[in-house]
Amino acid sequence: IINAPAPPTANAGPDVVACSGNYPISLVGAVSNAATTSWSGGAGTLTSNGVNATYTPTPGEILAGGLDLMLTATSGNACPNAFDLVHIALSNSFQNAQVSATNALCFGSASGSLTFSPALPGNTYVWSTSPPQNGPVATGLSAGTYLLTVSDSLGCDTTLSAAVAQP
């Protein structure tokens, strides 16, 4: 009877969505039949403890919207090594986010507006107006402070506050 060694396997885990500021990102992989395990890729800070790792992306990776990291399981025998990639999607929808105000024209009038920028495709907007307005611009506003919750296509969100003043 000849017992051949089993080849290694590597599973880098499910793809990850990281919302702005939620760094470092935790990675949990799985390997079997491996002599050694390592993570590689990316330009950021990768800290690995076997199959578990954390990753902090660079500003350039955040601007690019994502990256791939590789988990490698080395066999330590004649079997080929195993590799698996995990994709990290990085939300960059709220970099440089701001709300600009156009104040009410007359005292007591509802003629002010608020504008969110940058308005990106796939974002959803909910203003704390009555009734709620949906879109990057809220109009017909009287003096007061308003909240805006913006959600991006990755499921990340942010809330900003802005005020409309009277003349």
Residue at which a domain ends, from 90, 116, 140: 90
Nearest C-alpha neighbor of 92 from the set 55, 122, 48, 133: 122
User: Is 56 found in the same domain as 33?
Assistant: yes
User: Is 66 found in the same domain as 108?
Assistant: no
Residue with tokens 């203003």: 127
State pLDDT tens for residues 98-157. Answer: 999 999 999 999 999 999 999 989 999 999 999 999 999 999 999 999 999 999 999 999
Q: In total, how many domains does the chain have?
A: 2
User: Is 135 found in the same domain as 107?
Assistant: yes
User: Is 84 found in the same domain as 13?
Assistant: yes
pTM value is 0.82
Please enumerate, as own/partner, the contacts of 116-119 that have beta carbons within 8 Å and a separation of 24 or more: 116/148, 116/150, 116/160
User: Is 68 found in the same domain as 28?
Assistant: yes
* Helical (H) or strand (E) element with 61: helix 59-64
State pLDDT tens for residues 17-43. Answer: 999 889 999 999 999 999 999 999 999
Separation in Å, CA 144 to CA 107, 133, 164: 12, 15, 5
